[in-house]
Amino acid sequence: MPEMKPLNCEEAFARLDDFIDRELSPVEQQLVQEHLNVCAHCLAEYKFEAAIVDGIKEKMRKMQVPQELSARLGRALDSA
């Protein structure tokens, strides 16, 4: 069992991107989560970054719509 040493701000900050992408080990996810629970500064930064990541995902999702639409139109034309 690895030692659950609390992260300081610098350590939590360095892991934020991977935390948002869920690419940390379960132990590190837990450590970052625990730091966010007690540190308003890092929590604010996390929310800021997570909002940007969500925004990018939303944009990518919207960019896929025309492709899906044209594929659907293509199938509709094939079956007509």
Q: Can you give the binding site for Zn ion, defined by CB under 5 A?
A: 9, 39, 42
Q: Which is nearer to Zn ion, 24 or 39 (CB)?
A: 39
Contact 22, 42 (CB under 8 A): no
Q: Which is nearer to Zn ion, 5 or 62 (CB)?
A: 5
42 token code pair? 């890092």
Alpha-helix runs per DSSP H in 26-39:
26-38
CB of 18 to Zn ion, least distance (A): 16
Q: Which is nearer to Zn ion, 9 or 73 (CB)?
A: 9
Contact 9, 39 (CB under 8 A): yes
Distance of alpha carbon 80 from alpha carbon 78, whole angstroms:
6
CB of 20 to Zn ion, least distance (A): 15
CB of 26 to Zn ion, least distance (A): 20
